[in-house]
Structure 1
Amino acid sequence: MVAIDVPIWSARLQVLRRARLWSRRELGKRLADAADEATRDRLPTLETLTWLIRLWEAGERRPDERYSELLCRAFGVDEAELFVGDAAGTTLWHYLTGIPLLSGMFTAEEEERTGRAIEAPQRADDGTISYFKAVLDAYTRTDLRPADVINVLRPVFEGIEEFHRDASSPVRRAFLLLAAENAELISRMHHEAGDPGGALVWSDEAIRDAREAADTLLEAYTLAQRGGLSDTADDPGQIVDLAVAARERVNLPPRMDALSRHHEAQGHALAGDRDMCRRRLEESAQSLAEPGDDTRYRFDCSIEAHNTLCVGCLVDLGYARSAIEILEQEPPKALSTYATAYAMARMAHAYADAHERERAVETARQALVLARQTGALRALHELARVQLHPRQARRKRILL
């Protein structure tokens, strides 16, 4: 067995925390929440708890009985699972690879089998593929911070890359397809995290893997998604070309067709072409209304997403009043997600362009709080585009 520089229990503490996307400070808060009132009053400050967690994960100090109990409560595991070395092999390969350890999702046998495949990719089989698909599904959630998703999925992608290079031929293509989906998801998270350069790099990887796998539907999907990685007027023609190219690759299922036409409409709006934008939005709505779509790829092409994009197109075309009509019929759902933060930022933009300044300021304030809470830097960039009255513009700068 490969040696590591910390005790197994310390490594397990670290991989459990990372899999839950908790910072050490967040874990410290959860320890306090897990304590009863009498115990909580005797706990040190949050800064001290964060420092203690760092020491535990470095193996420099072991939690005493009180902290051991709080850790087990916070993670939802028993003491044997957290501190006893029965699952040393599982802890080891998760610690070394950075692939998240999702406690309770897989059996000990599935963990052991995946660990053996990590050591020797030729052992990979359908079970290994199912394991990695389940991990991707676990992190395909809009309530997670985009930067956190990026950090947890990068090592997953690296593991999948090893398999599609070195696994035996029966499963190699399946891993290649999975790598393309993973890269595309990471690309979108870079986009939501306000990193357009990173988004394009990962989009290139997704398109490349889809083409290498010779899967035209997956290639069309990656092209359609790439069309949504630009929110500016820098090159609206490229957005249109990508959306059209996606539809030219293959006969798209309804939801994917709607996605393609969504993004083409956005390109036409940025170019100032009202008629083509309206036509594509109508076509995308028609595609969304078609039944029987079993597209397996992960993306949001809901009515709510469609309405948000319509609002964005109307704002870009200068029809703020029409955008507000849609917004007031379908206000953003009160969920703490990066998608809701962006929708609210668009709403603030529409109110500002319609010269409803007080509503713009209040909506921008709400969007700002939610964007900071969810790590939605794209929403912050949208807020920066909002033009207010000079005095209120100063207030907005203070907010930002």
Structure 2
Amino acid sequence: MVDVAVPIWAARLRVLRRGRLWSQRELAARLLEVTDETERDRLPAPESLARTIRFWESGEQRPDERHAELLCRAFGVDEAELFVGEAAGTTLWHYLTGVPLLPGAFTAEEEERTGRAIEAPQRADDATVGYFRAITDAYTRAGLRPAEQIDVLRAVHAGIEEFHRDAGSPVRRDLLLLAAENAEQISRMHHENGDPDGALAWSDEAIREAHEAADALLEAYTLAQRSGLSDAEDDPGHLVDLAVAAREHGHLPPRMDALSRHHEAQGHALAGDLDMCLRRLEESAQSLAEPEDDTPYHFDCSPEAHNTLCAGCLVELGRAGGAIELLEQAPAKILPTYAAAYALARKAHAYADAHEREQSVETARQAFALARRTGALRAMRELVRVQIPPQRAKHRRILL
């Protein structure tokens, strides 16, 4: 394994922190949490402690005995594992690639096999594919901020890219398929993070890789998801064309068919075509009513998500009353956090358009608090569109 210019204990400290998706400041806060009252008084403020952590991770300073004990408590490891550990190769490849070390998910042998494959991609096999898929699945859970998912999945995607360029043919296609799924998830997280350019760029990457892998269902999935980037595209007709193209790849499973028709309806709504929008929404609801399918791709096509999308179409069409009725059926707490923030922002928008001022202000406050807490910048952008009437201008300044 290639050597690095920091001591192995410093590399391991950084790897353990990044695997838990903690910033240096968050690690500082956790060190304070695991202290007792007498110890806490002896520790510096979080800002100063975060600077000290940077010195530790660069190898410029080694934690003293007191700080070493606190680090072990925070990470849930013993001192030998943190400062001595035998798995130097595993630590170094995680340190060099940025691929997170998922605590407790893999055996030492599985980690070592993946590290050897990273050094020589022709060694990649089904276990390598399974390793990267497990990490991707673990970090696409709803509790993470979009920006956190982006940071993790970009490192994973870079690793998969290295493999599928040089891996042998038996596993190359599987890695290419995983890269396409990974790129599509990164695209969606850029979308939720309020970055339309990033969303489009990663969507293009996903479509290219799905096409190269010659997987019709995956290509349909990436096209359907691209058609849902309604606030990234300036051309509603293009959104409609993408959604239609997804269905032209063959018979789609019910949930994916519903997703495509959802997003086509969004394009029609943006174009002001009420009849076609309502027709596609009705067809989407019919697809969702069919028995559950085993589509392997990660996306939310629950009734709550369906109602949020439908309400968005109605808001664009000036039908605020119908949007409110739908959104009141979709409790935000059932949705992923960033989606819940966006649903609340949509509801605030609908209330404002319906001149229900008090409800709009209160809902916007809730949306703003949730969006700020979860990093849902797309929801923030939606709140900017909420037009609070003049007599509530004061509230609007407070909210935004």
Secondary structure (helix, strand or coil) at the match of 1:144 reads coil
Q: Give the whole-Å Cα distance in 1 for the aligned partners of 2:64 and 2:124.
A: 40
Equivalent residues of 1:193, 1:378 under 8 A apart:
yes
Equivalent residues of 2:307, 2:329 under 8 A apart:
no
Q: Give the whole-Å Cα distance in 2 for the aligned partners of 1:286 and 1:36.
A: 58
Q: Give the whole-Å Cα distance in 1 for the aligned partners of 2:137 and 2:336.
A: 19
When the two chains are superposed, the root-mean-square deviation of aligned CA atoms in Å is: 1.5
Secondary structure (helix, strand or coil) at the match of 1:330 reads coil
Equivalent residues of 2:349, 2:386 under 8 A apart:
yes
Task: Call closer, same or farther: CA 1:233–1:4 in 2, change over 3 Å.
Answer: closer
Q: Give the whole-Å Cα distance in 2 for the aligned partners of 1:138 and 1:377.
A: 23
Q: Give the whole-Å Cα distance in 2 for the aligned partners of 1:196 and 1:232.
A: 5
**1:230-271: CA deviation from partner (whole Å, max 9, x where unpaired):** 237831111111111000111100110111011011111111
Secondary structure (helix, strand or coil) at the match of 1:138 reads helix
Equivalent residues of 2:304, 2:335 under 8 A apart:
no
Equivalent residues of 1:258, 1:288 under 8 A apart:
yes
Q: Provide the residue aligned with 1:117 in structure 2.
A: 117
How far does residue 285 in structure 1 lie from its aligned partner after superposition?
1.3
Question: Following superposition, which runs of at least 4 residues in structure 1 exceed 4 angstroms of deviation?
Answer: none
Q: Give the whole-Å Cα distance in 2 for the aligned partners of 1:288 and 1:80.
A: 53
Q: Provide the residue aligned with 1:73 in structure 2.
A: 73
Q: What amino acid sits opposite 1:343 in the alignment?
A: A
How far does residue 12 in structure 1 lie from its aligned partner after superposition?
1.0
Q: How does 1:108-257 map to 2 (within 5 A)?
A: 108-231=108-231, 234-257=234-257
Equivalent residues of 2:180, 2:207 under 8 A apart:
yes
- More divergent stretch after superposition (326-335 vs 52-61): 326-335
Equivalent residues of 1:336, 1:374 under 8 A apart:
no
Q: How does 1:317-336 map to 2 (within 5 A)?
A: 317-333=317-333
How far does residue 43 in structure 1 lie from its aligned partner after superposition?
2.1
Secondary structure (helix, strand or coil) at the match of 1:86 reads coil
How far does residue 72 in structure 1 lie from its aligned partner after superposition?
1.8
Gap runs ≥5 in structure 2: none
* 1:360 and 2:360 aligned: yes
Task: Call closer, same or farther: CA 1:276–1:335 in 2, change over 3 Å.
Answer: closer
Q: Provide the residue aligned with 2:9 in structure 1.
A: 9
- More divergent stretch after superposition (225-234 vs 377-386): 225-234
Q: How does 1:38-53 map to 2 (within 5 A)?
A: 38-53=38-53
Q: Provide the residue aligned with 1:309 in structure 2.
A: 309
How far does residue 39 in structure 1 lie from its aligned partner after superposition?
2.1
How far does residue 336 in structure 1 lie from its aligned partner after superposition?
7.2
How far does residue 2 in structure 1 lie from its aligned partner after superposition?
2.0
- More divergent stretch after superposition (204-213 vs 39-48): 39-48
Equivalent residues of 1:233, 1:270 under 8 A apart:
no
Q: What amino acid sits opposite 1:109 in the alignment?
A: E
Gap runs ≥5 in structure 1: none
**1:144-173: CA deviation from partner (whole Å, max 9, x where unpaired):** 111111111112111111111100111111
Q: Give the whole-Å Cα distance in 2 for the aligned partners of 1:287 and 1:79.
A: 55
Q: What amino acid sits opposite 2:356 in the alignment?
A: E
How far does residue 114 in structure 1 lie from its aligned partner after superposition?
0.1
Task: Call closer, same or farther: CA 1:114–1:202 in 2, change over 3 Å.
Answer: same
Q: Provide the residue aligned with 1:281 in structure 2.
A: 281
Equivalent residues of 2:304, 2:329 under 8 A apart:
no
Give the total of aligned pairs. 400
**1:209-233: CA deviation from partner (whole Å, max 9, x where unpaired):** 1111110000000000001112378
- More divergent stretch after superposition (269-278 vs 349-358): 269-278
How far does residue 328 in structure 1 lie from its aligned partner after superposition?
2.2
Q: Provide the residue aligned with 1:382 in structure 2.
A: 382
* 1:30 and 2:44 aligned: no
**1:38-70: CA deviation from partner (whole Å, max 9, x where unpaired):** 322332211121111111111111112222222
Q: What amino acid sits opposite 2:31 in the alignment?
A: L
Question: What percentage of aligned pairs have identical amino acids?
Answer: 76
Q: How does 1:258-277 map to 2 (within 5 A)?
A: 258-277=258-277
Q: What amino acid sits opposite 1:67 in the alignment?
A: H
Task: Call closer, same or farther: CA 1:394–1:10 in 2, change over 3 Å.
Answer: same
Q: Give the whole-Å Cα distance in 1 for the aligned partners of 2:127 and 2:29.
A: 37
Q: Give the whole-Å Cα distance in 2 for the aligned partners of 1:257 and 1:8.
A: 50
Task: Call closer, same or farther: CA 1:241–1:371 in 2, change over 3 Å.
Answer: same
Q: Give the whole-Å Cα distance in 2 for the aligned partners of 1:247 and 1:281.
A: 15
Q: Give the whole-Å Cα distance in 1 for the aligned partners of 2:104 and 2:391.
A: 54
Secondary structure (helix, strand or coil) at the match of 1:102 reads coil
Q: What amino acid sits opposite 1:120 in the alignment?
A: A
Equivalent residues of 1:233, 1:271 under 8 A apart:
no
How far does residue 132 in structure 1 lie from its aligned partner after superposition?
0.2
Q: Give the whole-Å Cα distance in 1 for the aligned partners of 2:194 and 2:382.
A: 10
Q: What amino acid sits opposite 1:239 in the alignment?
A: L
Task: Call closer, same or farther: CA 1:164–1:88 in 2, change over 3 Å.
Answer: same
Equivalent residues of 2:114, 2:131 under 8 A apart:
yes
